[in-house]
Amino acid sequence: MIQDRLENAERYYGLHPGFRVAFEFLKTQNLRELPLGRQEIDGTRLFVLVARDPGRGRAGAKLEAHRKYIDIQYVIAGDEVIGVQPTVECKAIAEPYNPARDIIFFADKVEKWISLPPGTFIVFFPEDAHAPLAGDGEVHKAVVKVAVDWTAK
């Protein structure tokens, strides 16, 4: 997991071949004006999901993880609160892994919560389970999905 401000994104370009393209997209687009939903950046290797969602509170936030994609979650507006936990520590499966949606949900109790103000991002690798939208207000964010296997088309 990585948490930082967008202006520091260059520090992480070398961690994955798709990170430069992903962060440059976030830096160069007028994110407030992007339509809600999915937009392709580089086919199935790299795309963005833009959403405006109400917070669910800590009790309503679902702990999830992915296998095929890395999440770069960038907060455009609102204050995001996300629960985090290593995937290996998640033992209670609430919904089994769905390969078509690349998601698994856990029922484990989240012990650590992170606040993300606008202008910040957080990167979740497959080993990072996360419970987004755990705050109370509306959050406008862009989630860039970066394929773990960058060579697959």
Which residues, at least 6 apart from 151, have a Cβ–Cβ distance to it below 8 Å? none
- Domain contains 153: no
Q: Across all residues in the chain, what is the average pLDDT?
A: 96
- Domain contains 123: yes
Q: Which residues span the domain enclosing 48?
A: 2-147
The percentage of residues in the chain with a pLDDT greater than 90, rounded to a whole number, is: 97
Quote the pLDDT of residue 153. Answer: 61
Confidence label for 152 from pLDDT (cuts 50, 70 and 90): confident
Q: What is the pLDDT of residues 52-79, one digit of tens each?
A: 999 999 999 999 999 999 999 999 999 9
- Count of domains observed in the chain: 1
Contacts 24+ apart (CB under 8 A), 12-17: 12/123, 16/70, 16/146, 16/150, 17/150
Quote the pLDDT of residue 109. Answer: 94
Q: What is the pLDDT of residues 104-149, one digit of tens each?
A: 999 999 989 999 999 999 999 999 999 999 999 999 999 999 999 9
- Domain contains 152: no
Distance CA 57, CA 49 (A): 21
pLDDT exceeds 90 at position 11: yes
- Domain contains 63: yes
Quote the pLDDT of residue 77. Answer: 97
Look up the CATH number of the domain holding residue 16: 2.60.120.370
